[in-house]
Chain A
Amino acid sequence: MRLDSTDKQLINLYQRDLPVCERPYLEMSRQLGISEGEVIDRLQALQSDQVVSRVGPVFEHRRAGASMLAAVAAPEEQMDLVAARINRAPGVNHNYAREHTYNLWFVMTAPDEDTLDERLDELEHQLRLPMLRLPMVEGYHIDLGFDIDWEALP
């Protein structure tokens, strides 16, 4: 999908600080010099083209509930199968193949620590693979949605 300069400006301006007022898209439209309806249409198009996954809050996971980064070393020929099993477990929101002996990396979330541990125990038991559990100890970076380097993109 080709993005025009208005789409790019929409992304540049509103990865954070979306206005909390009765007509937020109207306020955004004034910044962009287009109509409120066009802001809504563009956001809809960006979502259906998978450029934007949603408009909304990003919750601080240490305060929103419990979450854990975990990894397993799946046999190479079974990676898709193991990844599908991980995706079927409740609360999995990220799951990536990575180049390492520990080749599947996922994040599991839950309302609280006890539920999280139960879910991970259950998944580890199902997969029959040893699991690395790597909770966050300290964060050094505030997620503000990084600025897109449009020039560098293909």
Chain B
Amino acid sequence: MNTSIDYLGVVPEVAGQGPISAWGLLRLRQRLEHGLPLTARPWQTLAEQTGLTEQEVMTAVDQWQDQGLIKRLGLVVKHRTLGYTANAMVVWNVPDRWVTSVGEAIAGAPFVTLCYQRPRRLPDWPYNLFCMIHGVDRNRVLSQIDSLIADKHLQDFPHAVLFSTKAYRQRGGRYVSHD
């Protein structure tokens, strides 16, 4: 397996101009993990930083979005600064045969911002379904959880609510760039 290609998704091509430099694409990934430059022509700025052309940079980003390597492109909001200070991770122990349908139901609630299945680690950790609620105050989040339990019929599944009390670090993933 060629790992450098693995980092890059399917290597994009500009129509009629052949493949784009894999080294340039790796540098582009590294730069993009730190965000888009705030210049009038940000793709051109990235092109100058990576040795690619502006067209190649835009093509790569378009294709990465189509492939799902980039899941969204836009402002990454720091919810805590805005006042979303009540952040709860709610964990559930759901029988395996129901976990997908329960996960999909929980993910459908408007105040649930993330929902994942993860493995149990018995005996220390019995929970296999995780969801996040970003709220403005603790009591409101607790009542949102109550309504979630009632609406989605979750009464029989043991759960725990882990509010965060401090953020020691919060930033985007850096998979190919350095800290």
- A-side residues, CB < 8 A to B, are 1, 10-11, 14-18, 20-26, 36, 40, 43-44, 46-47, 49-61, 63-67, 69, 83-84, 86-87, 90-100, 102, 104-107, 109-112, 130, 132-146, 148-149, 152-154
> B33 contacts which chain A residues (CB < 8 A)?
56, 59
B73 → A minimal CB distance (Å):
5
Chain A CB within 10 A, most for which of B42, B61, B73, B115: B73
> B42 contacts which chain A residues (CB < 8 A)?
24-25
A26 and B75 in contact, given A60-B70, A63-B68, A140-B116 (Cβ under 8 angstroms): no
- Please state if B82 and A51 are interface contacts (CB–CB under 8 Å): yes
Is B15 positioned at the interface, with any CB of A under 8 Å from its CB? no
Is B173 positioned at the interface, with any CB of A under 8 Å from its CB? yes
| Alpha-carbon separation in the docked complex, A15 to B61 (Å) | 16
Contacts across chains A and B counted by CB atoms under 8 Å: 262
- Please state if A98 and B163 are interface contacts (CB–CB under 8 Å): yes
| Alpha-carbon separation in the docked complex, A24 to B3 (Å) | 32
- Please state if A57 and B78 are interface contacts (CB–CB under 8 Å): no
Q: A58-B172, A84-B168, A141-B112 are in contact. List 13 more A-B contacts (CB 8 A).
A: A17-B73, A20-B58, A55-B35, A57-B32, A60-B71, A65-B176, A94-B171, A95-B169, A135-B118, A137-B119, A141-B107, A142-B71, A143-B71
- Please state if B115 and A43 are interface contacts (CB–CB under 8 Å): no
- Please state if B116 and A137 are interface contacts (CB–CB under 8 Å): yes
A-facing residues in B45-91 (Cβ within 8 Å): 54, 58, 61-62, 64-65, 67-78, 81-84, 87, 89
> A134 contacts which chain B residues (CB < 8 A)?
118-119, 121, 125, 130
> A10 contacts which chain B residues (CB < 8 A)?
75
| Alpha-carbon separation in the docked complex, A40 to B40 (Å) | 8
- Please state if B3 and A94 are interface contacts (CB–CB under 8 Å): no
Q: Which A residue's beta carbon lies closest to that of B84? A: A153
Q: B36's contact among A53, A56, A140, by CB below 8 Å, is which?
A: A56
> A26 contacts which chain B residues (CB < 8 A)?
40
| Alpha-carbon separation in the docked complex, A66 to B114 (Å) | 18
Q: Which A residue's beta carbon lies closest to that of B60? A: A20
- Please state if B40 and A25 are interface contacts (CB–CB under 8 Å): yes
Is B170 positioned at the interface, with any CB of A under 8 Å from its CB? yes
- Please state if A148 and B174 are interface contacts (CB–CB under 8 Å): no
